[in-house]
Amino acid sequence: MAIEQTLSIIKPDGVKKNVIGPIITKFEENGLSVVAAKMQKLSRHQAEGFYAVHKERPFFGELVDFMTSGPVLLMVLEGENAIAKNRELMGATNPAEAAEGTIRKMYAASIGENTVHGSDAPETAAFETSWFFKGGDIVSH
C-alpha cells in the first residue's frame, strides 16, 4: 500500500445537515488526514467541469443543479490507500445499498443527494484535486 491523496467533497445536503464534524471524524478515525480544505458554493462551470465524465448521463442536469444548490466542503484527504479507503467509508452510491456504518448509509437521502463525493482512481484523484486546489494549497502532514 502507498500513501495517496484523494478528493473528498461534503455535498450541499451534508453541509445543510450540519454533519461536517462527524464525517471528518470518521475519516480521521480511519487513518485519513485532511491536508487541504475550503468551503465554497460551486459555480455551474466548476460543477460541470468536475463531473464532465457524466455529461451524457440522464441525471447530469439534476446533478449540477444539486451540486450548485448550496455550499460544499472541498477537501484533500491523505493516508495509506486513501482512494479506496475513502470509497469504503462513503459506502455505495445509492444509500439504500450502502453498508451499515458508512457515511451514505448514515446521512444520505437518495442516490442523487448522497452527502459525499470521493475520487475513484489515481487518475481521477489527480484531476479532481487539481480542479479545485493548487499544489501550494495542499499541506502534507
Task: Check residue 52 and report its DSSP letter.
Answer: G
Shortest distance, position 132 Cβ to ligand ADP, whole Å: 16
In the bound state with ligand ADP, the residue whose beta carbon lies nearer, of 21 and 58, is 58
Shortest distance, position 37 Cβ to ligand ADP, whole Å: 19
For the record, the C-alpha cell of 98 comes out as 450502502
Shortest distance, position 139 Cβ to ligand ADP, whole Å: 26
Question: Would residue 117 show up in a list of annotated catalytic residues for this protein?
Answer: yes
In the bound state with ligand ADP, the residue whose beta carbon lies nearer, of 40 and 140, is 40
Residue 20: Cβ within 10 Å count = 15
Beta bridge partners of 80: 3
User: Distance (Å, rounded) from C-alpha 127 to C-alpha 141?
Assistant: 21
Q: Annotated active-site positions, please?
A: 117
